Amino acid sequence: MAGLAGSPWLRIRVLPELQPFSIRRCLLFNPRLSLCRRNISILASAAAGPINGEVRVRFAPSPTGNLHVGGARTALFNYLFARSNGGKFILRIEDTDLERSTKESEEAMLNDLMWLGLDWDEGPGVGGEYGPYRQSERTSLYKQYAENLLNSGHVYRCFCSNEELEKMKERAQQLQLPPVYTGKWATASDREIQEELGKMTPYTYRYRVPKEGILKINDLIRGEVSWSLDTLGDFVILRSNGQPVYNFCVTVDDATMRVSHVIRAEEHLPNTLRQALIYQALGFTMPSFAHVSLILAPDRSKLSKRHGATSVGQFREMGYLPKAMVNYLALLGWGDGTDNEFFTMDQLVEKFSISRVNKSGAVFDSTKLRWMNGQHLRTLPSEELSQILGERWKSMGLLVDSGGMFVKEATELLKDGIDLVTDADAVLSNLLSYPLESTLASAECKPVVEDKLFDLATSLLSAYDSGELLEALKAGPIGWQNWVKNFGKQLKRKGKSLFMPLRLLLTGKLHGPEMGGSIILIYKAGICGVISPQASFKTLDERFKMLREIAWEAYNVEKQSGADSVATLSH
């Protein structure tokens, strides 16, 4: 696979080279000599990097909010790449934003990753040889490498105030130039530096960027990517309060943790220029880079909260399965080259490759995710699915027990109408309810009412009162089928003319799951004692009582004139 044999090539084209040690010497002899600065060439070395070609990847979230689905997909791609290549998946917490980072956010992210099944080999809670794995605990390491760069001449102290920096930006805007640092302190003399230090003037550490040249990398997804160095300007690696900046931390962390491949979102692509320069200055081996496209909303804009749920935690609370989330996220920008859309985690590990990750953005389709979740839900073993739904029904106050035959039979009957676990509430409630009068008053029901529904209701009541219907229901599906067949013969009805009015009178609805299974389950619900009093359940006795009290005149039904029919319904 591309990128496994070593680091990607990187080139910085500049004027004739000087050896790295010449940078410091040149500055000491003539600190204002700008030519020296233009000609620096930073050479790569193997001072750090992966050992024996081992694949080591990392996911490095900032604990400043919830785990976004984009971050979850990045974590998944890293995980799959590591597992498919026998490598290590590292979790690193980038919590240098002290004002926004919270322990609660970190814990939520860790829980979401574990829920998705993305277990890490090194990181918080696991440990590892290259820890600590929180940036807030690595400050001394950053300062050590910053001092190394200062001593080697790759960085310098900058005493510019915020007001001065703002004026530089304004001046650049007036000249229609990139807002780059002008290099005021890049060639300051030792005397000038000591004066500012003596005055306790705050200062930052700035990296010396070559003024000329082009930096190129070979991205495993995007191919060759290049930047002109004259658009960058000297950048800060250490703030005046001693806090290291993001690009410096990331480079030091990835290098010292011996990360071999950096798989991340394309929004980090511009950061690669600064990071590459730092890698080279510190003598670290460059990792291979792979920048994954963004996840887009249906309107092709960047997916955000205004488009609905965007965090893993939200989808978890909505009743999505982790296996469905993993399957769907994997397909956002990747495919195995076939029409297959359903993969287990093991199958994804077996088939995943960076070479099949697309450059273009992937649209997040919540409708398809819901559908996919339903497919995965229905492939769960019966015992597992009934346990999930039973616990849900009990927790929502519909059942008093989460197990037993009723739960198993209800799961089997109702599962086709459930895409999310949370759908189970409405589906069971719908089965237990009996909205006969509102259905009778609907426009859709009018043809059924007009098809001599009163006559069929009369016969159905007779079958119930005689015990004939209850005996059939006790016998289960076979008993129901035999009874319906005979009942239809008596009334000279079959097909829709028989089953539609029967469904209406027994369930109170025109549509629903398989009718025989529904009626049998309603019968069992009335005798098993598992239904909660809060469930608004109507037993068969209660349904037939309501049926007797229907004011048929309100529905303009032409009733039979025979006294027997009227007597039957008023019994």
Concatenated DSSP letters for 150-192?
A: HHHTSEEEE---HHHHHHHHHHHHHTT-------TTTT--HHH
Q: Are strands 10-12 and 155-158 parallel, antiparallel or unpaired?
A: unpaired
Query: Is-contact 74 112, C-beta < 8 A?
Result: no
Task: Reduce the DSSP state of residue 40 to 3 states and report it.
Answer: strand
CA–CA gap between residue 505 and residue 501 (Å, rounded): 6
CA–CA gap between residue 412 and residue 517 (Å, rounded): 10
Per-residue pLDDT tens over the stretch 555-570: 765 544 444 444 445 4
Please identify every stretch of the chain with a pLDDT value under 70, giving residue numbers as ranges.
1-51, 304-309, 556-571
CA–CA gap between residue 288 and residue 127 (Å, rounded): 24
CA–CA gap between residue 131 and residue 123 (Å, rounded): 7
Which two tokens mark 185? 């302190």
Residue written as token pair 């943790």: 257
Per-residue pLDDT tens over the stretch 14-44: 433 333 333 333 333 333 333 333 333 333 3
Confidence at residue 168, expressed as pLDDT on a 0 to 100 scale: 82
What stretches of 433-467 show up as alpha helix (H) in DSSP? 436-440, 446-450, 453-465
CA–CA gap between residue 111 and residue 265 (Å, rounded): 22
What stretches of 200-287 show up as alpha helix (H) in DSSP? 246-256, 271-282
Cα separation values, 225 from 214, 215, 216, 228, 334, Å: 10, 8, 6, 11, 21
Element (H, E) at 120: none
Confidence at residue 50, expressed as pLDDT on a 0 to 100 scale: 57
Strand residue runs (E) in 395-440? none
Which two tokens mark 98? 């002290």
Q: Is 184 a catalytic residue?
A: no
CA–CA gap between residue 71 and residue 473 (Å, rounded): 53
CA–CA gap between residue 66 and residue 313 (Å, rounded): 7
Query: Is-contact 58 251, C-beta < 8 A?
Result: no
Cα separation values, 71 from 36, 118, 136, Å: 42, 12, 21
pTM, two decimal places: 0.84
Residues in the chain, overall count: 571
Q: Environment class of residue 379 by beta-carbon count within 10 Å: exposed (0-12), middle (13-18) or buried (19+)?
A: exposed
Name the catalytic one among 167, 169, 302, 305: 305
Query: Is-contact 438 548, C-beta < 8 A?
Result: no
Query: Is-contact 154 235, C-beta < 8 A?
Result: no
List residues bridging with 380 in a β-sheet: none
Output the average pLDDT for the chain. 87
